[in-house]
Amino acid sequence: MALLCFSFVAAAASVDGKWTAEVPGRNGTQTQTFTFKSSGDKVEGSQTTQRGDTPITDGKLAGDTLTFTIVRNFNGNEFKSTYTGKVKDDSIDFTVDNGRGNPVTFTAKKGS
Protein backbone atom coordinates (compact mmCIF):
# COMPACT_ATOMS: atom_id res chain seq x y z
CA MET A 1 0.00 0.00 0.00
CA ALA A 2 2.80 2.43 0.91
CA LEU A 3 4.48 1.77 -2.43
CA LEU A 4 1.27 2.63 -4.28
CA CYS A 5 0.96 5.90 -2.35
CA PHE A 6 4.58 6.81 -3.12
CA SER A 7 4.07 6.04 -6.82
CA PHE A 8 1.01 8.31 -6.90
CA VAL A 9 2.92 11.19 -5.27
CA ALA A 10 5.91 10.75 -7.57
CA ALA A 11 3.70 10.73 -10.66
CA ALA A 12 1.66 13.74 -9.50
CA ALA A 13 4.42 16.34 -9.88
CA SER A 14 4.53 17.95 -13.31
CA VAL A 15 6.82 20.82 -14.27
CA ASP A 16 6.17 20.98 -18.02
CA GLY A 17 5.36 24.47 -19.25
CA LYS A 18 6.14 28.07 -18.27
CA TRP A 19 6.51 29.32 -14.71
CA THR A 20 6.89 32.98 -13.69
CA ALA A 21 8.49 34.31 -10.52
CA GLU A 22 9.34 37.61 -8.86
CA VAL A 23 12.86 36.93 -7.60
CA PRO A 24 14.46 39.18 -4.95
CA GLY A 25 18.04 40.27 -5.56
CA ARG A 26 20.59 42.88 -4.60
CA ASN A 27 19.27 45.21 -7.33
CA GLY A 28 15.61 44.72 -6.38
CA THR A 29 12.99 42.24 -7.52
CA GLN A 30 13.29 40.81 -11.03
CA THR A 31 10.72 38.92 -13.08
CA GLN A 32 12.04 35.58 -14.30
CA THR A 33 10.38 32.96 -16.46
CA PHE A 34 11.31 29.29 -16.37
CA THR A 35 10.34 26.92 -19.18
CA PHE A 36 10.57 23.20 -18.43
CA LYS A 37 10.05 19.98 -20.36
CA SER A 38 10.44 16.68 -18.57
CA SER A 39 10.99 13.14 -19.79
CA GLY A 40 11.01 10.62 -16.96
CA ASP A 41 13.19 12.15 -14.25
CA LYS A 42 15.17 14.31 -16.71
CA VAL A 43 14.23 17.98 -17.05
CA GLU A 44 15.37 20.38 -19.76
CA GLY A 45 14.55 24.02 -20.21
CA SER A 46 15.65 27.59 -19.75
CA GLN A 47 15.44 30.65 -17.57
CA THR A 48 14.49 33.98 -19.15
CA THR A 49 15.48 37.25 -17.49
CA GLN A 50 15.91 40.79 -18.77
CA ARG A 51 19.41 39.65 -19.84
CA GLY A 52 17.99 36.93 -22.10
CA ASP A 53 17.65 33.14 -22.06
CA THR A 54 19.97 30.77 -20.22
CA PRO A 55 19.64 26.99 -20.53
CA ILE A 56 19.35 24.86 -17.43
CA THR A 57 21.72 21.93 -16.89
CA ASP A 58 21.56 18.81 -14.73
CA GLY A 59 17.76 19.08 -14.50
CA LYS A 60 16.13 16.31 -12.47
CA LEU A 61 12.65 15.68 -11.07
CA ALA A 62 12.45 13.19 -8.18
CA GLY A 63 8.91 12.97 -6.83
CA ASP A 64 7.99 16.58 -6.05
CA THR A 65 11.61 17.84 -5.91
CA LEU A 66 13.03 19.67 -8.94
CA THR A 67 16.76 20.41 -9.10
CA PHE A 68 18.84 22.10 -11.80
CA THR A 69 21.84 24.35 -12.35
CA ILE A 70 22.25 27.57 -14.30
CA VAL A 71 25.73 28.71 -15.34
CA ARG A 72 26.37 32.28 -16.49
CA ASN A 73 29.52 34.02 -17.63
CA PHE A 74 30.14 37.70 -16.83
CA ASN A 75 33.35 39.42 -17.87
CA GLY A 76 35.16 36.10 -18.18
CA ASN A 77 33.98 34.82 -14.78
CA GLU A 78 31.69 31.82 -14.42
CA PHE A 79 28.82 31.98 -11.92
CA LYS A 80 26.92 28.83 -11.00
CA SER A 81 23.48 28.83 -9.35
CA THR A 82 21.91 25.64 -7.98
CA TYR A 83 18.10 25.56 -7.78
CA THR A 84 16.01 23.24 -5.62
CA GLY A 85 12.24 23.43 -5.83
CA LYS A 86 9.24 21.74 -4.25
CA VAL A 87 6.56 21.30 -6.91
CA LYS A 88 2.90 21.86 -6.03
CA ASP A 89 -0.14 21.91 -8.34
CA ASP A 90 0.36 25.43 -9.70
CA SER A 91 3.53 26.65 -7.99
CA ILE A 92 7.13 25.71 -7.24
CA ASP A 93 8.79 26.91 -4.02
CA PHE A 94 12.44 27.47 -4.93
CA THR A 95 15.65 27.94 -3.01
CA VAL A 96 18.63 29.07 -5.09
CA ASP A 97 22.21 28.85 -3.90
CA ASN A 98 24.48 31.26 -5.77
CA GLY A 99 27.56 30.10 -3.89
CA ARG A 100 27.75 33.25 -1.80
CA GLY A 101 26.34 31.85 1.45
CA ASN A 102 22.91 33.51 1.38
CA PRO A 103 20.36 31.30 -0.40
CA VAL A 104 17.40 33.11 -1.95
CA THR A 105 13.83 31.77 -1.77
CA PHE A 106 10.95 32.56 -4.10
CA THR A 107 7.83 30.99 -5.59
CA ALA A 108 7.21 30.46 -9.30
CA LYS A 109 3.60 30.30 -10.51
CA LYS A 110 2.44 28.16 -13.42
CA GLY A 111 1.64 30.20 -16.52
CA SER A 112 -0.94 29.62 -19.20
Question: How is the chain split into domains, by residue range?
Answer: 2-110
pLDDT tens across 3-62, in order?
A: 444 444 445 478 999 999 999 887 889 999 999 999 999 999 999 998 899 999 999 999
Residue 112 is predicted with a pLDDT of 54
Q: How confident is the model at residue 111 (pLDDT cuts 50, 70, 90)?
A: confident
Judge contact between 16 and 90, C-beta under 8 A.
no
Q: How confident is the model at residue 73 (pLDDT cuts 50, 70, 90)?
A: confident
Residue 91 is predicted with a pLDDT of 96
Residue 32 is predicted with a pLDDT of 95
End-to-end CA distance of the chain: 35
Considering only CA atoms, which of 56, 60, 71, 51 is closest in space to residue 15? 60
Which whole number is the average pLDDT over 72-100? 92
User: CATH for 2-110?
Assistant: 2.40.128.20
